[in-house]
A and B are shown apart, each in its own frame.
Chain A
Amino acid sequence: NAGVMQNPRHLVRRRGQEARLRCSPMKGHSHVYWYRQLPEEGLKFMVYLQKENIIDESGMPKERFSAEFPKEGPSILRIQQVVRGDSAAYFCASSPRGGANTGELFFGEGSRLTVL
């Protein structure tokens, strides 16, 4: 049973370019979460999605960032017009349930974005 798959593992972009990060949850998991981690920092919640729906995007910057989880295919975190401050590790996690019964989150290995 494959775990949470994230790609690319490493991405380098110049300022102003777009970054697209993909996440395939574990089989049978329909709940996906994106977290951002800066060096020496904890994980900061960005967005929680269920198939075709954004459930909670309270942690997502209002501009340049968007996320989707289509009916078919992986969840995508999109960052437009990247700036140096976007350099971070972006982790995706999945769970089979949501809300009060969420339980354990299964994390992918992360996508490390570097903005030059």
Chain B
Amino acid sequence: GQQVMQIPQYQHVQEGEDFTTYCNSSTTLSNIQWYKQRPGGHPVFLIQLVKSGEVKKQKRLTFQFGEAKKNSSLHITATQTTDVGTYFCAGRFTGNTPLVFGKGTRLSVIA
């Protein structure tokens, strides 16, 4: 079936360091979304990217969608302890298919 691969699986950083997680698909995506799940919590929507080459920023978070619409990244500048959690990308392959989630990147921030 169609899959969305996400790396790395885990990332441990010192507070203040940057963090990046990558998402890849072998097939062109219609759009991609990013979610954050705190430990013991539920996924919370962060952003949706639709256009080829799109870049969106939310404070210290920068989201990119590749030119070929097959990959995406989330970059966090100067991590804080509140950034702890698992970040999931979720791709939609065509308009009517369900969101396919990557396995997530679990971020730990050491104060």
- Interface, chain A (partner B; CB < 8 A): 33, 35, 41-45, 48, 56, 58-59, 91, 93, 99-100, 102-110
How many angstroms from the CA of A43 to the CA of B98 in the assembled complex? Answer: 12
User: What residues on B are CB-neighbors of A56 within 8 Å?
Assistant: 96-98
Interface positions, chain B 41-71, Cβ under 8 Å from A, are: 41-45, 48
Task: Kindly report which residue of chain A lies nearest to residue B97, judged by CB atoms.
Answer: A56
How many angstroms from the CA of A106 to the CA of B102 in the assembled complex? Answer: 17
Given contacts A41-B103, A42-B103, A109-B41, A59 and B98 within 8 Å (CB-CB): yes
Which residue in B33, B101, B103, B104 is a CB contact (below 8 Å) of A35?
B101
Task: Kindly report which residue of chain A lies nearest to residue B88, judged by CB atoms.
Answer: A42
The answer to whether B95 and A107 have CB atoms under 8 Å apart is no
- Interface, chain B (partner A; CB < 8 A): 6, 30, 33, 35, 41-45, 48, 88, 90, 92, 95-104
The answer to whether B98 and A33 have CB atoms under 8 Å apart is yes
The answer to whether A107 and B103 have CB atoms under 8 Å apart is no
The answer to whether B45 and A106 have CB atoms under 8 Å apart is yes
The answer to whether B42 and A109 have CB atoms under 8 Å apart is yes
The answer to whether A107 and B101 have CB atoms under 8 Å apart is no
Nearest CB of chain A from residue B97's CB, rounded to whole Å: 8
Known: A42-B102, A45-B98. 17 other contacts (CB 8 A): A42-B88, A43-B101, A45-B99, A45-B101, A48-B98, A56-B97, A58-B98, A91-B43, A93-B43, A99-B96, A100-B95, A102-B92, A104-B33, A105-B33, A105-B45, A107-B42, A108-B42
Can you list 13 residue pairs at the A/B interface with Cβ under 8 Å? Answer: A33-B98, A42-B6, A42-B102, A43-B90, A44-B101, A45-B98, A48-B98, A91-B42, A103-B48, A104-B45, A106-B45, A107-B42, A107-B44
Nearest CB of chain A from residue B60's CB, rounded to whole Å: 21
How many angstroms from the CA of A56 to the CA of B98 in the assembled complex? Answer: 8
Task: Kindly report which residue of chain A lies nearest to residue B103, judged by CB atoms.
Answer: A42
